[in-house]
Amino acid sequence: MADPVHLPALAFRAGEDACDGEVEVQNLGTEPAKALLTVWGTTTACAPRCAGPVGVGCSGLIAPGGMWRFGRDDLPSGSASGAVYSLSTRPLTAIGLAGGRGLVADRICRGLNANVLYRCDGYLSLKRAYETGGAYQGIPMARAYGPPLAVEVFRSCAGDVSKLHTALASYAGIGGRDFGGRDHVFDISSYHVTLVNHGRDGFETALAVQNGGPNCASVELWVQERGVCRPSRPCKVFNLAQGASQTVDLAECVADGWEGAAWLNSSEPLAVAVDVFGHDTLMTYAAAPAELRYSWDGPPEFTAGSPAVVGPLIFGRDRGWDTRIHVQNLSSVTPAWVRATFLDPDGAPIDATPPEWVCPFGSRTFRVAAVDRRPGPWVGSVRVESLPWPTPASTPMPPAPGAPPPTATPARANITAVAELMRRRGAGGGGLAVGEVESALAYNLLAAPPAPERRTGLGEPQGAALVAVPHLVATGDAGVASRLAVANHVREPGATHAAVLLFDVNGLVDVTCLRIASGAVAYLDLGGWGHAGPAFVGSAVVSATAWDHAALDAHGRTIANRVGLAAVAVQQVGGDAGAAVGGDAFGATAGVPFRRESPATGSAAAWLGSTDCRPATRPTRGPGTEGPWRAWLPWAGG
């Protein structure tokens, strides 16, 4: 099935109806789809006072790879949260129902106003049938699923200081693995919030917490001060109806100037968007699901993290931007020994921060300015690593209460991270100014896959080979234009050839080819993309087509051919990255990695066809070390 995608923050910021939201939906499959959008208002009460969705609707036909926009006029007033479901566009007769040439999606969509709108029980019937594959209104939902979707929410909000200013922010919809692993022993789901502050440099944090489960949720919020290795303390407990979203202001339980991390326990799965705002700017990122393990040692049952996280950085100090990386330790018992390495656009290391300890469930910040003192432009990427402990059988920092004393060097703790970029007024021209912040953006970094320990299928991807970018704009759309950064975060020497496939609502528009060396970043400006007209609004898929990054074992034998792409799209109002436009002109969202599946198993994305985005000659490392000479394409046939 295609997982529902949840949208915890739409029109509200910190409980104030201050934003115009747009929902951009991208089809990641190889057949057309329709998207069903449900929207909730501000009522969060559970049954019997559950209010149900305040808005429902379906998209038009979304071509493979293409996108559909639910604009401001499509969202009802007071939209607090939403969820997107993918529906099949196959004929009813294809799933054994009468109806001639009518489509499965159209049959479901026609009954939404009568069966789901303002009806909590009606929505739950739809949700349960969709998630279990049961029948809904006589339709077997197991045969009504559409292809997977990627969703981005793009918000334009009034400033928190001056309502005449505008603050932009965007985030990727939350679904699938982002919901985390369910702890079936304690029957809870848990989530980490990496960057939380109250009054730090004039910024505040508010959480938009959405119930993604089928039952009323009981939610606990805990906080932990940065750099203090003591147990977290409770902040708030609240209940939340199915689909509804509640804003939690951290000012309720921490002192002014407080900075740290937070985590949530819930009886139901959650989707959590985090708004950091101040100085008429807004940054939004998603909370990370907690790690799930049932023993002190051994691998976790589930983790959204990794011993290393990576991501491209869009703007550098030459344009006045200050970059900070906020790192979250996912382990509840083991401190993490963490180092951040910054690379230039060609993949060459600039410098690394000294390793620092991160408390269990704690967080720590690494700043580019602390290591980068070179003149001239600086834009590249970052790699944050949880290192092996420096000494065996020792604990430089006390473990969490209840942890047994270590008898050997603990395994590296898994981590996640958020990139935060700020530009100060009057900055630019080679240094950071001390003026007030005028623009800010934040996005989640990508977990890097662990190094292979044994021989794998050398033709198969050993990392992210496909990345979805649901929202790209050339120019003219309310003055918004997009920039795209694509990073090759593989450490093994070599290069990856990639195709960037550009789509509008009607399908494939253009393809551009990239060759990205190990650790390097390629930058694309849609304002200068020839086939993207001045009113272009669309999406993209970044697809690796060939790669040559041989991973070797201790004997020098090739055990894997690694690939790893990451992308970040920035939406910008106005001109150059150094121009002020009367508010926060930037929003950023990390691309969504996804995997191909076998067409025989109901594939959502298959390797089909070929493109010219491949090397002129094959790699020469030896037989079996080159990547597949194929690209993801939306359609192939005679």
The separation between the first and the last C-alpha atoms of the chain, rounded to the nearest angstrom, is: 28
Q: Where are the domains of the chain?
A: 5-151, 152-292+302-393+410-601
> What tokens were used for 240?
């939340």
Rounded CA-CA distance 355/358 in Å is: 10
pLDDT at res. 607: 34
Is the Cβ–Cβ distance between 210 and 270 less than 8 Å?
Answer: yes
For residue 41, pLDDT beyond 80: yes
Given pLDDT bands bounded at 50, 70 and 90, which one contains residue 26? very high
Q: What angle do CA 1, 96, 175 make, to 5 degrees?
A: 15
pLDDT in tens, 99-158: 777 899 999 999 999 999 999 999 999 999 998 999 999 999 999 999 999 999 999 999
Is the Cβ–Cβ distance between 338 and 383 less than 8 Å?
Answer: no
Place of tokens 């003219």: 476
DSSP single-letter state for residue 29: S
Average the pLDDT over each of 300-304, 418-422, 571-575 and give the range with the smallest value: 571-575
Over range 376-382, report the average pLDDT: 71
The residues near 202 (Cβ < 8 Å, ≥ 6 apart) are: 278, 279, 437
3-state secondary structure of 473: strand
Average the pLDDT over each of 267-271, 403-407, 445-449, 486-490 and give the range with the smallest value: 403-407
pLDDT at res. 250: 85
For residue 400, pLDDT beyond 60: no
E strand spans, 494-564: 495-504, 507-517, 521-525, 537-548, 550-552, 558-561
Q: Hey, what amino acid is at 390?
A: P
pLDDT at res. 624: 36
CA atoms in the 13 A half-sphere facing the CB of 179: 18
Q: Between 628 and 58, whose confidence is greater? A: 58
Q: What angle do CA 509, 635, 69 make, to 5 degrees?
A: 50
pLDDT at res. 596: 64
Residue-level length of the chain: 638
Could you tell me how far CA 615 lies from the centroid of its own chain? 30
| Backbone angles phi and psi of 104, in degrees to 5 | -60, -45
According to DSSP, the residues that pair with 367 across neighbouring strands are: 324
pLDDT in tens, 342-366: 888 898 888 888 898 898 888 999 9
According to DSSP, the residues that pair with 422 across neighbouring strands are: 322, 440
Is the Cβ–Cβ distance between 470 and 24 less than 8 Å?
Answer: yes
The residues near 163 (Cβ < 8 Å, ≥ 6 apart) are: none
Given pLDDT bands bounded at 50, 70 and 90, which one contains residue 240? very high
Comparing CA positions, the residue from 387, 429, 427 lying closest to residue 410 is 387
Comparing CA positions, the residue from 330, 367, 374, 336 lying closest to residue 352 is 367
pLDDT at res. 349: 86
pLDDT at res. 486: 95
What does pLDDT average to over the chain? 82
Rounded CA-CA distance 399/403 in Å is: 6
Given pLDDT bands bounded at 50, 70 and 90, which one contains residue 579? very low
Rounded CA-CA distance 39/52 in Å is: 9
3-state secondary structure of 380: coil
| Backbone angles phi and psi of 251, in degrees to 5 | -65, -15
Helices (H), 60-185: 104-110, 112-115, 120-132
For residue 401, pLDDT beyond 50: no
DSSP single-letter state for residue 109: H
* C-alpha distances in Å from residue 402, one per residue of 197, 332, 397, 406: 28, 10, 14, 12
Over range 361-382, report the average pLDDT: 73
Given pLDDT bands bounded at 50, 70 and 90, which one contains residue 395? very low
> What tokens were used for 429?
């021209």
In the chain, the percentage of residues whose pLDDT exceeds 90 is 46
pLDDT at res. 50: 85
The residues near 38 (Cβ < 8 Å, ≥ 6 apart) are: 53, 55, 56, 82, 83, 85, 116, 123, 243
pTM of the predicted model as reported, rounded to 2 decimal places: 0.88
pLDDT in tens, 197-207: 898 888 999 99
Q: Between 424 and 197, whose confidence is greater? A: 197
